[in-house]
Amino acid sequence: MRQYIFGTGLLSAITGGVTLLRGLRNHEEFTWRTALAWLSWGITLALAVGAVVDTRRARRGGTVAGDSPVSKKQQKLLKKRLAR
């Protein structure tokens, strides 16, 4: 589980969230740019968590969606397993 928690995608999403929280502490105005930054952070966090879930499923032999970056590796592993 440690390899998933300390993945680069998840770490960058967390540090981005910390940066946004620091901006809130400075009592700056909440503008449309701030709203877009929070939306972008939410999307980044969702993609990082999705990548972790897909990687875990693939390692346990589960199926992964075709749009996942892990799907090509999984297809290669399935071909090898079926050849055995």
**Can you give the pLDDT at residue 25?**
81
pLDDT over 60 (residue 1): no
Mean pLDDT of the chain: 79
Which DSSP string do the residues of 36-65 spell out, in sequence order? HHHHHHHHHHHHHHHHHHHHHHHHTT----
Give residue-wise pLDDT tens across range 20-61: 888 888 777 888 988 999 999 999 999 888 888 877 777 777
For residue 12, name the pLDDT band (cuts at 50, 70, 90).
Answer: confident
| Residue given tokens 């390692």 in the structure block | 59
Domain layout of the chain by residue ranges: 2-83
| DSSP helix/strand/coil, 6 | coil
Structure tokens that stand for 7 in this block: 């993945």
Stated pTM of the model: 0.70
